[in-house]
Structure formats: C-alpha cells, structure tokens
C-alpha cells in the first residue's frame, strides 16, 4: 500500500516529469519554427539573388542594343532608352 508521504513524493516526481516533457515539447516546437523561418529567409535570399542576376544580365543586354544599332547605322529613337 502507498502511504500518503509516498503518494505526495510520487505526485511531485510525476509533476516534474510532466514539466520537463512540456519544456522539451516547447523547445522542439520553437526549433521547428526557427528552422522554418530560417528556410523562408534562405529561399527569399535565393530568389533575390536570382532576380539580381537576371536583372544584371538584362541590363548588360540593354547596354549592347544601342551600340549595335549605331554600328548597323540604324537611327536611335527615344523609345530605345528606359524611362527610369
């Protein structure tokens, strides 16, 4: 038979184990959230890098249009220039 003193000690041990388990679950959940946020930031940075690379290629291509047109003897009109 379990005595009252032993029952209180068992209840305390059970409470401490439940508390540790809850803390571990919170920590795991927080780590998952942090990992998801990290992956989202990483994907966003990759998209930005890809966009910057495409923009740079586009600008290099744009910069060759006018010299090529001049070399061919074509007339340059205002619509050849970006309206930035």
What is the domain range of residue 52? 4-72
Domain annotation covers residue 83: no
pLDDT score recorded for residue 59: 82
Domain annotation covers residue 52: yes
Domain annotation covers residue 60: yes
Can you read off the two tokens belonging to residue 17? Answer: 């184990």
Tally of domains within the chain: 1
Domain annotation covers residue 27: yes
Domain annotation covers residue 48: yes
Query: What average pLDDT is seen over the chain?
Result: 80
Q: What is the mean pLDDT of residues 10-36?
A: 92
How far is C-alpha 50 from the chain's CA centre?
14
pLDDT score recorded for residue 26: 93
Q: What is the mean pLDDT of residues 25-48?
A: 92
Report the range of poorest mean pLDDT among 3-17, 35-49, 50-64, 68-82.
68-82
Handedness of CA 24, 25, 27, 31 (dihedral sign): positive
Domain annotation covers residue 78: no
77 conformational bin, left if phi > 0, alpha if psi -120 to 50, beta if neither: beta
Q: Is 69 exposed, middle or buried (0-12, 13-18, 19+ CB in 10 A)?
A: middle
Confidence band for 40, pLDDT divided at 50, 70 and 90: very high
55 or 37, greater pLDDT: 37
**d(C-alpha 18, C-alpha 8), whole Å:** 15
Domain annotation covers residue 84: no
Domain annotation covers residue 81: no
C-alpha torsion 32→37→40→42, nearest 10: -100
């Amino acid at each position: 038979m379990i005595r009252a003193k032993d029952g209180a000690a068992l209840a305390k041990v059970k409470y401490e184990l439940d508390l540790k388990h809850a803390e571990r679950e919170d920590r795991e959940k927080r780590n998952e959230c942090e990992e998801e946020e990290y992956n989202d930031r990483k994907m966003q940075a990759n998209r930005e890098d890809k966009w910057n690379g495409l923009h740079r290629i586009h600008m290099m291509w744009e910069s060759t249009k006018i010299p090529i047109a001049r070399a061919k003897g074509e007339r340059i009109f205002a619509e050849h220039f970006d309206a930035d």
